[in-house]
Amino acid sequence: MIQATESVANSIPVLMYHRVSQSGDSLTVSPENFESQISWLARNGYITLTADEFARFLHGSTMPRKSVLLTFDDGYLDNYVHAHSILLRYGLNAVMFLVTGRVHDGPFRAIEAQRMEAPRSHQACERLVYDGRADEVTVRWSEVELMRAAATFEFHSHTHSHLRWDQLCANPVRKRQNIALDIEKSKAVLTARLRVGSRHLCWPEGYFDADYIDAAKAAGFDYLYTTRNLRRNVPGSDPLHIHRLVDNGKDAEWLAQKLQRYQDPLWGRAYYWFKRARHFRNEAWS
């Protein structure tokens, strides 16, 4: 057990990524910049937590001061092609939130061959998904198993469909029914495929309301991940509202500044207090 106070985390940042690609557009970090970040973490003595280790921290368990949780949303193929290889090289690990309805069967694809293909923009990837061609840009179950075996990624829920039922259903009863079915289906698929029940869920597009939270709790999800970055994750933080730092595609210098500010016990607390105050003031004026 960790004894020295200075060696114990007072807060743990959760980083949010989507794609690792040379496409150079939004929601994307280049392989070079991602490796720069991961190399910096490894060189500076950081450890990457599992989702359950992070959950225990929220409930009061001690974790090393230099702890971080890496998360990837959507399950894009380039996570396997680039992020998996980089994490493996440095001995670190991450969480991937899968849209289970997009993941197909089939043999795992050769990483080097995938790297030779021209990178697709994020918009092009989304078009393929909505055209029913998700298998071209999303990880397969065989690749999921390969990454699990290598301990680079663990896998949790990003719902089954990634649809916003609050926008699609005018009838509130139908809305609640569809939310529940969507979340329950993702839980069932993950449990069947991975032979373990996930308790961690990330919201599509970062949106949630009371109906979404109720459905997630009913399905057995106890840790709900947002796209918000208004609070630090500290012991006693609400596990139904986990805040994450959004990667902006930059290199290790950006990451170092973010983590050092986040985990400073005085500056970090003050920074996030002012950030919340500014956010709520802007909301009141809008």
Q: What digits encode the pLDDT tens for the residues 75-90?
A: 999 999 999 999 999 9
Average pLDDT, the chain: 95
> Are the CB atoms for 151 and 142 separated by under 8 Å?
no
- Look at residue 248 in the predicted model and tell me its pLDDT: 87
Give the amino acid at 250: K
Question: In this model, does residue 148 exceed pLDDT 70?
Answer: yes
Q: For residues 148 and 187, give the distance between their C-alpha atoms in angstroms, rounded to a whole number.
A: 18
CA–CA separation, 84 and 153 (whole Å): 7
- Residue owning tokens 């396997």: 80
Q: Residue with structure tokens 């092609």?
A: 81
In this prediction, residues 153-160 reach a mean pLDDT of 98
* Amino acid symbol at 174: R
Show contacts of 35-38: CB within 8 Å, 24+ apart: 35/86, 35/89, 36/251, 36/252, 37/247, 37/251, 37/252, 37/254, 37/255, 38/86, 38/87, 38/90, 38/92
The continuous run of DSSP H or E covering 205 comes out as none
Residue type at position 195: R
Domain ranges of the chain: 5-285
Please provide the DSSP assignment of 77-119 as one string.
HHIIIIIHHHHHHHT--EEEEE-GGG---SPPPPHHHHHHSPP
**What's the fold here for domain 5-285?**
TIM Barrel (3.20.20)
**CA of 2: how far to CAs of 9, 53, 179, 237, in Å?**
10, 14, 41, 21
CA-to-CA distance for 184 and 11, rounded, in angstroms?
31
| 4 pLDDT above the threshold of 50 | no
Interval 198-243: pLDDT, tens: 999 999 999 999 999 999 999 999 999 999 999 999 999 999 999 9
